[in-house]
Amino acid sequence: MFREETEKHLRESLIPFWMKLKDDNYGGYFGFMDNDLNIAERSGKGCLLNSRILWFFSTCALLLHDKKCLDYAGHAFDFLKRSYIDDEFGGLYWSATFDGNPLDTCKHTYCQAFAVYGLSAYYRASGNKESLALAKELTGFIEEKCRDENGYLESFNRDLSPSVNDKLSENGVIAERTMNTLLHVFEAYTELYEAGAVEETAPKIKEMLRIFKDRMYDPARHCQKVFFDKDYNSLLDLVSYGHDIETSWLLDRGLEVLGDEELTREMTPITDDLADNILHNAFDGHSLPAECEKGKVNEDRIWWAQAETVNGFLNKYLQDPSKEEYKTAVLAEWEYIKEKFIYEQSGGEWYSQLDANGVPYKDKPLVEPWKCPYHNGRMCLEVIRRDVRF
């Protein structure tokens, strides 16, 4: 029943909703829709949103064998090539105008990584060699321009001089390194590895696993630290529940793809610990709060964190089906999503954020640079990829 419901939700709600965002006049996908379903057709178009849409339709095409989805992925690919690439300094702009000209010319490692992620998926679905070549080119850009000897740096001006990392910093701090950016560089390289670029990615995936283990994981608190200075000193007492459970399964996925048994034995206790802590100390039996800062829990429910809760708990249940509590949590979270998050009037896209009582914030848009089909779409796609049968 769970498998059937999530696949139906993907096919009949999420895919049609995002298809309607296609901009046939200027290319790409509309960058903003408010909670009343009004599309701002002349709003900026974020590269992050476009890259995640590229990944979404590519992966739908790959797993559902859907030629129409491949066409929609191709539409995102064409806009990425035309509108975000900086031919002078390299890399991709943060955003473009509605008609495809540079808007925010920041170069952010997070943005480059998601383009690699989407381009790799498009190659896997379509066999388009230009897409794979561009993914490898951007990986080279990240490695040459966006890091130092200790790992990945984050925010740069157009000419690649350092800039303030306000886009990936929150809660009153400005971080030079973040757990969030490292996680999604890791994810992007895992996807590129699966696309066949083993030589370019394998050593870097292993290096990132070491950074998670040695720099970001806090074994005493069973969580990850979030924001860092350049020397990996933590800047804030913050636990991001959604990122911890997302990290748990994404690291396991990278380990699965690598097939390094020794490294898997070393890292699995960490991914187990992250998931176990979320299940027993954050998850309330039906949904996941946003975060805990300085011991105070933010009880809002964020759309993407609920989707990653399903992914993370499902991952640990499938690794060890004797852990029935993970399966129970998956099904409880899915019931909460169906009851509280799915916005039927929109055709089935999810609300962005709920308060502690499960009431949507009506001022939060359904589509914006960060609100996309990546998390909830991926939740459904993971159920299909793993061939879940409960």
Q: For the chain, list the domains and their CATH numbers.
A: 2-385 (1.50.10.10)
Residue given tokens 């993407």 in the structure block: 304
Tell the residue number behind the tokens 């070491």, with chain if given: 210
pLDDT of residue 69: 98
What is the distance between the alpha carbons of residues 14 and 369, in angstroms, rounded to a whole number? 17
- Type of residue found at 361: Y
Per-residue pLDDT at 3:
96
147-148 and 177-178 strand pairing:
unpaired
Exposure string (b/e) for 325-343, b if CB count within 10 Å is 16 or more?
ebbebbbbbbebbeebbbb
Residues 6 or more apart whose Cβ sits within 8 Å of residue 357: none
What is the per-residue pLDDT for 268? 98
At 178 the three-state DSSP class reads strand
On whether the CB atoms of residues 74 and 126 are closer than 8 A, the answer is yes
pLDDT along the chain (390 residues), means of 10: 97 98 98 98 98 98 98 98 98 98 98 98 98 98 98 98 97 97 98 97 98 98 98 98 98 98 98 98 98 98 98 98 98 98 98 98 97 98 96
Q: Do the beta carbons of residue 159 and residue 86 sit within 8 Å?
A: no
Burial 113-146 (b: 16+ CB within 10 A, else e): bbbbbbbbbbbbbbebeebbebbbebbebbeebb
Pairing of strands 291-293, 238-240: antiparallel
Distance CA 73, CA 76 (A): 5
Alpha-helical runs (H) found in the chain: 2-9, 15-19, 47-64, 67-83, 109-126, 129-145, 179-194, 198-211, 241-258, 261-281, 303-319, 324-336, 374-385
Q: Find all residues with CB under 8 Å of 296, minimum gap 6, and list them.
A: none
Answer for the pair 160, 169: CB distance below 8 angstroms, yes or no: no
Q: Which two tokens stand for residue 169?
A: 């910093």
Please tell me what DSSP assigns to residue 13: I
pLDDT at 97: 98
358: how many CB neighbours lie within 10 A of its CB?
Answer: 14
CA distances (Å), 219 to each of 45, 274, 346, 351, in order? 40, 9, 42, 34
Helices (H) and strands (E) in the chain, counts: 13, 15
Instruction: Tell the residue number behind the tokens 């959604």, with chain if given.
Output: 242
Q: How many angstroms separate the CA atoms of 245 and 72, rounded?
A: 30
Give the closest residue to 311 by CA, choosing from 247, 239, 234. Answer: 247
Cα separation, 291 vs 238, whole angstroms? 7
| Alpha-carbon distances of 79 from 22, 66, 96, 184, 374, rounded to whole Å | 11, 21, 10, 22, 18
Q: Is residue 307 within 8 Å of 250, Cβ to Cβ? A: no
Distance, CA of 130 to chain centre:
23
- Angle, to 10 degrees, between the axis of helix 198-211 and the axis of helix 261-281? 50
Alpha helices in 282-347 (DSSP H): 303-319, 324-336
